[in-house]
Amino acid sequence: MKRSFLGRAWPGAAAVVLFVVFAFPVYWMFATAFKANKDIVSDTPTWFPTSPTLEHFSKAVDADGFWTLVGNSLTVTLVAVALSLVIALLASFAVARMRFKGRKSFILVMMMAQMAPWEVMVIAYYMIVRDAEMLNSLPPLIAIYTVMVLPFTVLTLRGYVAAVPKELEESAMVDGCTRTQAFIKVIFPLLAPGLMATSLFGFITVWNEFPMVLILNKDPASQTLPLWLTSFRTTFGDDWGATMAASSLFAVPILILFVILQRKAVGGLTSGAVKG
Amino acid sequence: MSAQIEEAAADAAPGIGKGGAPPPRGGKGRVSQGVPYLLILPAAAATVLLLGWTLVKNGMLSFQNLNPRQLIQHVTEWNGVDNYTEALGSSDFWSVTGRSVVFTAANVVLIMVVGCLIGLLLARLGNKMRLLLLLGIVLAWAMPVVAATTVFQWLFAQRFGVVNYLLDTLGWHSMADYNWTSGQFSTFFVITVLIVWQSVPFVAINLYAATTTIPKELYEAASLDGAGPWKQFTSVTFPFLKPFFLATTFLEVIWVFKSFTQVFAINEGGPDRLTETLPVYAFVEGMGNQHFGMGAAISILTIVILLALTAYYLRLVLKQEEDEL
Amino acid sequence: MKRGLIAATGVAAMLVSVAACGSSDGDKGSGDSGDKAKSLTVWFMDGSNPAGWTKSVQAEFEQKTGAKLNIQVQKWDGIQQKLTTALSESSPPDVVEVGNTQTPSYAQTGGLADLGDLKKEIGGDWTESLNKPAVFEGKQYAAPWYAASRVVIYNKKVWADAGVKETPKTRAEFFKALEAIQKKGEAEPLYLPGQNWYFFDGLTIGTGADLVKKDGKKYVSNLADPKVAKAMDIYKQYQAFSKAPKDKDEATPQQADVFAKGKTGAFIGMGWEAATAIKANPAIEKEIGYFTIPGETADKPEGVFLGGSNLAVATGSKKQELAKEFLKIALSDKNESALAKEVGSLPNKDSLLGSVKGNPAAEAAAPAAKGGGTTPLIPEWAPVENAPNPIKAYMTAVLNGKSPEEAAKQVEGDMNKRLSQKQ
């Protein structure tokens, strides 16, 4: 059954159109970051930064305590994501592969945990942390962020664990692998896309979190980058160039993470277990 | 302890049944009943301690008259169910709730349909095109919320907005000076475009990742039976990914319902508070007006409403849990 | 090697490192509190404390008291929640800047210390209109620091091209000038979005209107008052000269950025907004001029909203005396004049008004200050201005063709709800 040219070309064409639609606002952010001030708001849109400038970037990076914020953000995000991944992997394995009393209740709790409206519960958590004399430090943030992304991570990973055909694992064990080896060699690579998706999700969620840190950590030494992002909208006008430069820099770790993860995860998968 | 887990897991293995067959109870290989509990312990403990505690605290606040004065002076003023009667007694609350439900439904349907189509497209594309499209949607996903809301405000701005400029250039001149935030519907339109744009990447990437776990043999078998793309989707992809669809829809319902920044940033719930959704309402009444007890009460009501909205899924998923093992 | 063991050890290690994090932070915290005896923490709002002034005040304070001055500049995002929560903590910032219209509601919370003594000592001649917001129920809860009001910022070239030679002295002359620019057709005469609410507040001060009235013990909306309608009518006449969106305020987009393009005759803003315009387009600098917003008659400028800031001491501060020492230095005649000179704001004493000489924006603002006012100075007022501000909705409704009475009625419920919120 041969397809027409149109039939073969449309997925590619659709991909290009969709790429433009999804990437345009992001492009606009990057482009604005390079535009001279007079081009940022203009009657006819300035599609390209005709006289590109790095002024906004240097202003963004020169902000007070920038590197402290970077350090804090990285610490909080990496620790929270790693913690939630490990905790979730254990739990998801139990939930997906074992039967025990309370399993359903556990799943139910995880599902309901996702409904917590954190923005409005900030005050409750604030009062707990305040009364524990732990304001202006990172551990309370790490703890709450871990719990914020945990339910999602558990439930998603569970799906991936469950989706691995048991036959694969069994046949590996028939081939002489121990259960752990079977897990490492067979299941783990198959879980890679799941780990990619959940860690990206966790990273983006924690990396962006704003309302908690705003109120919990008022000491600049313990703040994180989202506060820096909004700091260029000042009394003396909103410095959109710097805001967009900061936002562009802010998005970079997520993009790097994606590039790393997508090679490892998707690449490992196609060359890995399924075919072999 | 960890070595124990290891052994126990190995022991438990033969007991794990396939498909609908439950593992035999009490037989050989059920030596360590404690294993699953050990595995879920960290997750359960973290959730109960942090989320549970915060929820209880929040619940207690919802029965208090808590404003800046009480917060600053550390006084507790119980006021019974006043916050609840006030919230539930106001017509605003109910119209906001109804609006939130409709808004959520519309957005989730759009997100799921568009997200799934793109996910399937990703699975179908060649490596280069797939990478291009993946790049585009990850860019959208990675864009900080602050920047995204700002850029969308610009794109849809009345005077200097790119959207109006394009519509005008393309010949729709009456749109040259169109004010997107002047009406309830057009404001919701902008918010919806923003939310769908931000949420689709998650669904699409997840769906794509999930499709890669579908054994190719299933498709091969289906195509041998002469199944076209649609048939393949309904007979292989969809059944295989049904849990995924359920879970994602469930998540999107929760996320869209709870979305705050986007709705608030575009037009602050305007015009005339006609685009306020429940989280915006809770924020304005609770955090904005620093009426924290009221905010806590509305947040509890939000959870109740979410539970009601998702009850169907929760039951379905739980029932399916039984079938699975 | 068993992988399970590795994974489990990994978790344990991570938990340990988090715990270690916690304890080291704790140590640092206690170390800080040891130092705190000799340091004073001050919160300034972003944009309030210019570099030169800050440097000299800091040097003077540290030299005089031997204590360290720890200045933390706060961003505007979420400032109310930040300030409220900070005041509730066991070691709050010692001195905080509070917006003048916010002061009554914070005074009412008990978070601000009584500064009656300080007022007696250094505040005998504080300008009455600036000191009023710092007093609540007869007690002095803050000290007036500076104030600023809106002026007309105009493009000299646009005005000259339209043949307008002199800056207007009355509202009628102003409208005439705007008409001339409109006729010329090359520029938008005025950039005025529908929700420049502080300009509107100034107009209500000009017409002598009150935004709230007392109904028994409670405050309720007074927007239906004909004087408010009159102020709104003036606003509407101004707004007719602008193509700016009727449902946005002056910050979306920033009016100075629009003005910077050189196609706008004038806008109503704070003096420093000119700097924003110059930053966006340096060429505009030589075209910028300022004048006082003209009133009905030439002898009385338009009413203006006197925005400003007070300095207050947190009740929870353990260094009350040191904090007052700081206020005495920051608010001394010398430093007040220096601040006014540096940024063109109005100082807290009439006798120091001379220090704004040479700053054209401040010179334009000064004549109106006498007739300036604020929003209603009651603790119940603060919720009204929280987004979405019902008065902004009222303005948009009128500009879109509703009668002032109808519009007042439309937002009355929301406004009264906010005014009656439990404190």
Q: How confident is the model at residue B124 (pLDDT cuts 50, 70, 90)?
A: confident
- Predicted local distance difference test score (pLDDT) of residue C1: 34
Residue C323 forms part of a structural domain: yes
- Predicted local distance difference test score (pLDDT) of residue B105: 95
Helix (H/G/I), strand (E/B), else coil: A32: helix
Nearest CA in chain C to A226: C77
Nearest to A41 among C10, C45, C253 (CB): C253
Same domain, C385 and C356: no
- Predicted local distance difference test score (pLDDT) of residue B247: 77
More confident residue, C53 or B1: C53
Element (H, E) at A237: strand A237-238
Domain that holds residue C280: 151-305+373-419
Average pLDDT over residues B109-130: 91
Report how far apart, in Å, the C-alpha atoms of A86 and of each of A188, A256, A269, B201, C261 are. 13, 22, 21, 25, 55
DSSP state of A2: P
Reply yes or no on whether the pLDDT at B25 is more than 50. Answer: no
Residue C91 forms part of a structural domain: yes
Mutation site for B-interface testing, chosen from C242, C247, C261, C418 by largest number of B Cβ within 10 Å: C247
Q: How confident is the model at residue B97 (pLDDT cuts 50, 70, 90)?
A: very high
CA-based max dimension of chain C: 92
Residue C28 forms part of a structural domain: no
pLDDT tens, position by position, for chain A (276 residues)? 455 666 678 888 999 999 999 999 999 999 999 998 778 877 778 888 888 889 999 989 988 889 999 999 999 999 999 999 999 999 998 988 888 888 888 989 998 998 888 888 899 999 999 999 999 999 999 999 999 999 989 988 887 787 777 777 777 777 777 767 777 777 777 787 778 778 888 998 899 998 899 999 998 899 999 988 888 876 666 778 888 899 899 988 887 887 777 665 544 333 333 322
Chain C hits for B5, CB-CB cut-off 8 Å, are: 4, 8
- Predicted local distance difference test score (pLDDT) of residue B288: 84
Residue C212 forms part of a structural domain: yes
- Residue in C342, C323, C362 with CA at minimum distance from that of residue C54: C342
Chain B hits for A23, CB-CB cut-off 8 Å, are: 135-136, 139-140
Chain C hits for A86, CB-CB cut-off 8 Å, are: 7, 10-11, 14
Amino acid of residue C110: G
Rounded to whole angstroms, the Cα distance separating C409 from C395 reads: 12
Q: Residue C75 and residue A38: Cβ atoms within 8 Å?
A: no
Helix (H/G/I), strand (E/B), else coil: A9: helix
Q: Is B80 on the interface with C (CB under 8 A)?
A: no
- Predicted local distance difference test score (pLDDT) of residue C57: 96
- Predicted local distance difference test score (pLDDT) of residue B30: 45
- Predicted local distance difference test score (pLDDT) of residue B26: 39
Q: Are strands C188-191 and C264-269 parallel, antiparallel or unpaired?
A: parallel
Same domain, C266 and C359: no
- Predicted local distance difference test score (pLDDT) of residue A263: 60
User: What's chain A's length in residues?
Assistant: 276
Same domain, C329 and C231: no
Same domain, C77 and C181: no
The token duo for C384 is: 């009204």
- Residue in A225, A228, A232 with CA at minimum distance from that of residue A254: A225
C377-409 pLDDT, tens digit per residue, is 998 898 898 888 999 999 999 999 999 999 999
Same domain, C232 and C253: yes
CATH level 3 topology of A65-271: MetI-like fold (1.10.3720)
pTM as predicted = 0.84
- Residue in C353, C308, C307, C309 with CA at minimum distance from that of residue C333: C353
Mutation site for C-interface testing, chosen from B39, B69, B76 by largest number of C Cβ within 10 Å: B69
Residue C173 forms part of a structural domain: yes
> Which ipTM score applies to this complex?
0.83
Q: Which of A54-68, B195-209, B283-297, C222-236 has the highest mean pLDDT?
A: C222-236
The token duo for B312 is: 């169907």
User: What's chain B's length in residues?
Assistant: 325
Cα–chain-centroid distance for residue C284?
26
Looking at the structure of chain C, the number of domains it has is 2
Q: What angle (nearest 5°) sits at the alpha carbon of residue C92, between those of residues C322 and C50?
A: 70
Beta-bridge mates of residue C135: C140
Rounded to whole angstroms, the Cα distance separating B283 from B299 reads: 9
- Residue in A32, A158, A138, A34 with CA at minimum distance from that of residue A91: A158
Element (H, E) at A39: helix A37-40
Exposed, middle or buried: residue B246 (CB in 10 Å: 0-12, 13-18, 19+)? middle
Rounded to whole angstroms, the Cα distance separating C120 from C336 reads: 18
Same domain, C199 and C123: no
- Predicted local distance difference test score (pLDDT) of residue B261: 86
Helix (H/G/I), strand (E/B), else coil: A3: coil
Chain B hits for C393, CB-CB cut-off 8 Å, are: 270-273
More confident residue, A2 or B29: A2
Beta strands in A89-236 (DSSP E): 233-234
Exposed, middle or buried: residue C182 (CB in 10 Å: 0-12, 13-18, 19+)? middle
| Domain range list for chain A | 1-53, 65-271
Reply yes or no on whether the pLDDT at B277 is more than 90. Answer: yes
Nearest CA in chain C to A36: C280
- Predicted local distance difference test score (pLDDT) of residue B324: 54
Rounded to whole angstroms, the Cα distance separating C119 from C115 reads: 6
Please list the residue range(s) of chain B that carry CATH number 1.10.3720.10.
84-324
- What integer best gives the mean pLDDT of chain C? 88
Q: How close is the nearest chain A Cα to the Cα of B320, in Å?
A: 10
C102-155 pLDDT, tens digit per residue, is 899 999 999 999 999 999 999 999 998 889 999 999 999 999 999 999 999 999
B33-42 pLDDT, tens digit per residue, is 788 899 999 9
Rounded to whole angstroms, the Cα distance separating A213 from C422 reads: 28
Q: Are strands C95-99 and C39-45 parallel, antiparallel or unpaired?
A: parallel
Mutation site for C-interface testing, chosen from B5, B32, B50, B72 by largest number of C Cβ within 10 Å: B72
The token duo for B252 is: 């999107």
Q: Residue A233 and residue C26: Cβ atoms within 8 Å?
A: no
Give the C window 239-258 contacts with A, CB below 8 Å.
Answer: 251, 253-254, 256-258
Q: How confident is the model at residue B206 (pLDDT cuts 50, 70, 90)?
A: confident
- Residue in C194, C206, C209, C212 with CA at minimum distance from that of residue C398: C194
Q: How confident is the model at residue B56 (pLDDT cuts 50, 70, 90)?
A: very high
B3-20 pLDDT, tens digit per residue, is 333 333 333 333 333 333
DSSP state of A114: T
Q: Do A200 and A262 meet the contact criterion of CB atoms below 8 Å apart?
A: no
Q: Is C1 on the interface with B (CB under 8 A)?
A: no
Rounded to whole angstroms, the Cα distance separating A274 from A269 reads: 7
Chain B hits for A269, CB-CB cut-off 8 Å, are: 212
The single residue listed with the structure tokens 């220096």 is: C338
Helix (H/G/I), strand (E/B), else coil: A53: coil
Q: Do C2 and A180 meet the contact criterion of CB atoms below 8 Å apart?
A: yes
Q: Residue A235 and residue C10: Cβ atoms within 8 Å?
A: no
As a dihedral over the C-alpha atoms of residue A30, residue A33, residue A39, residue A41, rounded to 10 degrees, the angle is: 80
Beta-bridge mates of residue C69: C40
Same domain, C112 and C218: no
Q: Do A203 and A50 meet the contact criterion of CB atoms below 8 Å apart?
A: no
CATH of the domain at C134: 3.40.190.10
Nearest to A230 among C14, C75, C260 (CB): C75
Same domain, C409 and C264: yes
C301-328 pLDDT, tens digit per residue, is 999 999 899 999 999 999 999 999 999 9
Rounded to whole angstroms, the Cα distance separating A149 from A110 reads: 11
Chain B hits for A243, CB-CB cut-off 8 Å, are: 146-147, 150
SS3 annotation, chain C: CCHHHHHHHHHHHHHHHHHHHHHHHHHHHHHHHHHHCCEEEEEEECCCCCHHHHHHHHHHHHHHHCCEEEEEEECCCCHHHHHHHHHHCCCCCCEEEEEHHHHHHHHHHCCECCCHHHHHHHCCCCCHHHHHHHEECCEECCEEEEEECCEEEEEHHHHHHCCCCCCCCEHHHHHHHHHHHHHHCCCEEEECCCCCHHHHHHHHHHHCCCCEEEECCEEEECCCCHHHHHHHHHHHHHHCCCCCCCCCCCECCEHHHHHCCCCEEEEEECCCHHHHHHHHCHHHHHHEEEECCCECCCCCCCCCECEEEEEEEECCCCCHHHHHHHHHHHCCHHHHHHHHHHHCCECCCHHHHHHHCCCHHHHHHHHHHCCCECCCCCHHHHHHHCCCCHHHHHHHHHHCCCCHHHHHHHHHHHHHHHHCCCC
Same domain, C191 and C272: yes
Q: How close is the nearest chain B Cα to the Cα of A221, in Å?
A: 22
Amino acid of residue A257: L
Reply yes or no on whether the pLDDT at B207 is more than 80. Answer: yes
Mutation site for A-interface testing, chosen from C6, C21, C45 by largest number of A Cβ within 10 Å: C21
Same domain, C189 and C276: yes
Same domain, C120 and C156: no
Q: Do C23 and A134 meet the contact criterion of CB atoms below 8 Å apart?
A: no
Rounded to whole angstroms, the Cα distance separating C385 from C105 reads: 12
Same domain, C315 and C301: no
Nearest CA in chain C to A222: C25
- Count of CB atoms situated within 10 Å of the CB of A218: 22
Reply yes or no on whether the pLDDT at C59 is more than 80. Answer: yes
Chain A hits for B57, CB-CB cut-off 8 Å, are: 124-125, 127-128
Reply yes or no on whether the pLDDT at B246 is more than 70. Answer: yes
CATH level 3 topology of B84-324: MetI-like fold (1.10.3720)
Q: Residue A215 and residue C78: Cβ atoms within 8 Å?
A: yes
Q: What angle (nearest 5°) sits at the alpha carbon of residue B167, between those of residues B161 and B173?
A: 105
